[in-house]
Structure 1
Amino acid sequence: MIQPDPYTPTSGSAELRVDHYDLTLDYDIYSNRLVGVAVLHGQVLTDTSTLALDLRGLKVSQVQLNGSAVRFKQTRTKLVLRSPLAAEDAVIIEVSYSGKPRVQKGPWGEVGWEELTDGVLVAGQPNGAATWFPCNDHPGNKATWRCSIEVDADYTAISNGELLHCTPGDGRAVWAWESRVPLATYLATVQIGQYRRGPLQSKTHTSARVPLRLACGDHLWRQGQNALAKQHAMLTVFEKHFGEYPFDSYGVVVTDDDLEIPLESQPLSILGPNHLGAGWNSERLIAHELAHQWFGNSVTPHQWSDIWLNEGFASYAEWLWSEASGQAEANSRADAAYEQLASMPQDIVLADPGGPEMFDDRVYLRGALTLHALRCHVGDDGFFQTLRSWTALNRHGTVSTAEFLAHAQRVTGHPAGALLRDWLFGAQLPDRP
């Protein structure tokens, strides 16, 4: 059973597992009005007289359960269906809804559906999915996905997975996307803008095995191609270290608006023009977001307390790219990170940093250093075999810190739990690896 996550206690349902989402959306960009029909296929997990879905700020007009109208009520954060159900019952829930979606403010800033100057961005992590569709918004409930979005014909609408078709008509166009591999709701996305779409080029490296694509405005096309030209080489390096890329393609959306931070989705990353610079800071962020396709998107923490399994691994990927591309070695990056951490307060426990602090810089840096400590102790062969087998065994699944420690010990023969105890479960910074 999926238990409520203590970091996002008002999100998620313990009574339902969703296995598939099918969304049909009609969006007017000028009025920010969204009309949607969401069909959820799932299974009831316990005997219950109600089922609760997450939904914020949108008005529901009708709900059907297994083809019949069902009574429901809405609270500020939930859509509650009233019907007696038994454990293991299969359910198909169809929700018709509409409204003007907006971001949700919380400890992590603004998340969810956000209007841009000329378009839309969705930033779902950790609990923003409910701002635009009814869902079980819990990282442990991954589901397959289909999303059809109708927009004005001069706009591009991008969602998760692969494009099935784009059908124009009467000044509008329908963009239909599908992900046959499951995704967590925080990775579900819609990106809308006057975007040009096409392959990412590489001037210095053989094209990657996986199709790489770019979407951005015409005025950013050349800058985006130049800034992202190393993605082919990055993917090759990461496949060597992490194992086969877990999806059919990879895309990058560059919005017209500057963004505070890049965003990961599945199998997408979303950058702002301010992330297309020529220096290391932009390059490391580009590598970081690509690495999330393995760590976070394919292999997903079951609960948010294990966020270091996302951010620590993606941060360490920055250092791996640095040394593979002839820049600073991982040891040098680790030394700099250690000095930075040593100057910060020592009051975060990496394996349970607390909800408000889960995206703190210290989680990223200490997570990367934890992996570096493991690498230094077991050697490169054992370390990278641990990473490759971890992503293979847990492909498209959910995981925990305890499972990673047990896995590392099985693969390397070293007591990973004892080795990393102070890094993961203590607040004080351990000795430099």
Structure 2
Amino acid sequence: MLLIRPTRPHPAPRLLRRPKAALLASAVTVCLVAAGAPAEPLGVGDRIFPDLGNPGYDVAAYDLAFTYPGSNDKPLKAVTTIDARLTSSLNRINLDFAHNTVESVEVDGREAAFTSAGEDLVVTPDHALPLGSVTRITVRHTSDPVAVDDQEGGWVRTTDGLAMANQADAAHLVFPCNDHPSDKAMFTFHVTAPNGYTAVANGLPTGTVKAGGTTTWSYRSQHPMATELAQVSIGHSAVVHRAGPHGLPLRDVVPAADKKELEPWLAKTPDQISWMESKIGPYPFETYGVLMAQASTGFELETQTLSLFEKDIFTEPAYPKWYIESVMVHELSHQWFGDSVSPRTWSDVWLNEGHATWYEALYAEEKGDHPLQDRMKAAYGASDRWRTAGGPPAKPKPPAPGQKIGIFRPNIYDGAALVLFALRQEIGKDAFERLEKVWVRENRDTSVGTADFVRLASAIGGRDLTGFFQDWLYGEKTPPMPGHPDWKQVPPPAPAGSAKKS
């Protein structure tokens, strides 16, 4: 995710999301309540979001079917089908799901009991599920954009329809799932909408079917995906097709009325992909595109193969051209860092945002004459303040209650990019660039952690870098910058009207 932060130079800052109210109690309808011990919410124990994700199974595939009623203030009817392999013997299956109504649940084609516990949907099949078995769970439910309006993500209501913004922990507000990036899966989407609307989702189209006054659009991913990266766009949209490098199919989704005005920005993507490929290797997915939504979110988001942007960023005169292009590259670079190579835990998110910020800044240097070193020196000066406020890059402070987006603070953006700058200084430019290419190649389509990056950097750097990373990623204070002993922390400005001390 890229928040438009007030630390950016030149353009007037866009507002960060305001703190939201605490999550409402789950509205999952309780029906066919299972007998026995009370159902309990579970989680995989993530330090940041301990209640999300669920133990005991690994999702292989999601099939999501949404029926849009033609209004973005009414619930969608939905059917979620999950194919999963059991990693433990289970009598119950916990799914992350909240703020919607469940109509029925089936496990392997047979009706199953279900109830809610916290933000979990707890399913009790009529038979035990043994270790190693493969099971199919089918949930018929609603998916309500209004129910999640006060939350940090989920459905985003646009002026003409809907889009998704599930990062970091909001996919379970849209569909039942194992809502943690450590459990990636294949996705198929079927979106039914009244004729006149266009629906687009992650992956490649597999067909459309018209029936009376509606059209069903289907898409399928070719690579596994984390739930937080799912995207469905429904609106009065134009889909613009072009060829990218090596014949890569590109498709952008824009408001139909603005297609001509936005085309100059869309036309930049092929060259941006080529630039990224020159730095880190082949683009990792089957397609790419930009989704320009008529909505006010306060951020852009790297949803897999179809990055979400506010349309206004491209039409607001206050933003200079170089800045907008670097933001586009930030989200594009996430397709490698964060999407193809996903974080194992949310404390590893610095690997996503630090790398995306790095290539954003490198692009601005090479294409916009804004030196990366100047940006890194400024980041160094603020780094201790960022660590105090938000935690070190690889140990971000958990969000305050009701502030789910709170982990996306400056120290996992420019602060994490600063770690990469220090690493390049430490091991040299050639070794650093080799590390980047090997990292994305060897970890494609997986979820990995900080320790994996440290091991690979040590191997390529030719020495144990554990101590280096310990200081830079987890220290309360910023270490000296290799090669720049003159770089210092910059104290915050004194409050207006305060007396100076001698």
TM exceeds 0.5? yes
* SS in structure 2 at match of 1:142: coil
Residue identity in the other structure for 1:23: L
> Which among 448, 455, 477 is matched to residue 428 of structure 1?
477
* SS in structure 2 at match of 1:9: coil
Runs of 5+ in structure 1 lacking a partner? Answer: none
Residue identity in the other structure for 1:4: G
> Which among 139, 143, 148 is matched to residue 95 of structure 1?
139
Question: Is the contact between residue 95 and residue 120 of structure 2 (CA under 8 Å) also seen in structure 1?
Answer: yes
Corresponding residue for 1:373? 422
* SS in structure 2 at match of 1:85: coil
Corresponding residue for 1:130? 172
Are the structure 2 counterparts of residues 367 and 355 from structure 1 closer, same or farther at C-alpha, using a change threshold of 3 Å?
same
Question: Is the contact between residue 103 and residue 110 of structure 1 (CA under 8 Å) also seen in structure 2?
Answer: no
Alpha-carbon distance in 2 for matches of 1:303, 1:179 = 23
Q: 1:9: how far off?
A: 2.0
Alpha-carbon distance in 2 for matches of 1:360, 1:318 = 17
Corresponding residue for 2:378? 336
Q: 1:428: how far off?
A: 1.1
Indicate yes or no: 2:66 matched with 1:25.
yes
Q: CA RMSD in A?
A: 2.1
Are the structure 2 counterparts of residues 10 and 216 from structure 1 closer, same or farther at C-alpha, using a change threshold of 3 Å?
same
Question: Is the contact between residue 322 and residue 368 of structure 2 (CA under 8 Å) also seen in structure 1?
Answer: no
> Which among 97, 106, 118 is matched to residue 160 of structure 2?
118
Corresponding residue for 2:269? 231
Q: Deviations over 1:33-89 (max 9, x none)?
A: 211111110111212221110111221122111121111113452211113222212
Corresponding residue for 1:183? 225
Q: 1:99: how far off?
A: 5.2
Alpha-carbon distance in 2 for matches of 1:331, 1:324 = 12
> Which among 244, 262, 279 is matched to residue 241 of structure 1?
279
> Which among 315, 321, 328 is matched to residue 363 of structure 2?
321
Indicate yes or no: 2:203 matched with 1:161.
yes
* SS in structure 2 at match of 1:377: helix
Percent of pairs with identical residues: 31
Larger Rg: 2
Q: Deviations over 1:233-260 (max 9, x none)?
A: 2211211212111001101110122431
Indicate yes or no: 2:52 matched with 1:14.
no
Are the structure 2 counterparts of residues 374 and 186 from structure 1 closer, same or farther at C-alpha, using a change threshold of 3 Å?
same
Are the structure 2 counterparts of residues 103 and 158 from structure 1 closer, same or farther at C-alpha, using a change threshold of 3 Å?
farther
Corresponding residue for 2:34? none
Are the structure 2 counterparts of residues 240 and 174 from structure 1 closer, same or farther at C-alpha, using a change threshold of 3 Å?
same
Indicate yes or no: 2:318 matched with 1:272.
no
Count of residue correspondences: 426
Alpha-carbon distance in 1 for matches of 2:261, 2:374 = 30
Q: 1:359: how far off?
A: 0.4
Question: Is the contact between residue 237 and residue 253 of structure 2 (CA under 8 Å) also seen in structure 1?
Answer: yes
* SS in structure 1 at match of 2:473: helix
Q: Normalising by structure 1, what TM-score?
A: 0.93
Q: 1:345: how far off?
A: 5.9
* Range 347-356 or range 295-304, more displaced: 347-356
Q: 1:227: how far off?
A: 2.5
Q: 1:207: how far off?
A: 5.4
Residue identity in the other structure for 1:410: A
Q: 1:158: how far off?
A: 1.4
Alpha-carbon distance in 2 for matches of 1:245, 1:131 = 30
Alpha-carbon distance in 2 for matches of 1:343, 1:67 = 55
Q: 1:376: how far off?
A: 1.6
Indicate yes or no: 2:422 matched with 1:353.
no
> Which among 91, 94, 113 is matched to residue 52 of structure 1?
94
Higher strand content, 1 or 2: 1
Residue identity in the other structure for 2:160: D
Are the structure 2 counterparts of residues 229 and 431 from structure 1 closer, same or farther at C-alpha, using a change threshold of 3 Å?
farther
Residue identity in the other structure for 2:47: P
Q: Which has the higher contact order (CA 8 A, sep 6+)?
A: 2
Q: Deviations over 1:180-219 (max 9, x none)?
A: 2100001112111111001258xxxx85652322111133
Alpha-carbon distance in 1 for matches of 2:139, 2:104 = 6
* SS in structure 1 at match of 2:131: coil
Are the structure 2 counterparts of residues 33 and 308 from structure 1 closer, same or farther at C-alpha, using a change threshold of 3 Å?
same
* SS in structure 2 at match of 1:411: helix
Residue identity in the other structure for 1:262: E
Q: 1:160: how far off?
A: 1.1
Q: Normalising by structure 2, what TM-score?
A: 0.80
Are the structure 2 counterparts of residues 97 and 324 from structure 1 closer, same or farther at C-alpha, using a change threshold of 3 Å?
same
Are the structure 2 counterparts of residues 140 and 36 from structure 1 closer, same or farther at C-alpha, using a change threshold of 3 Å?
same
* SS in structure 2 at match of 1:407: helix
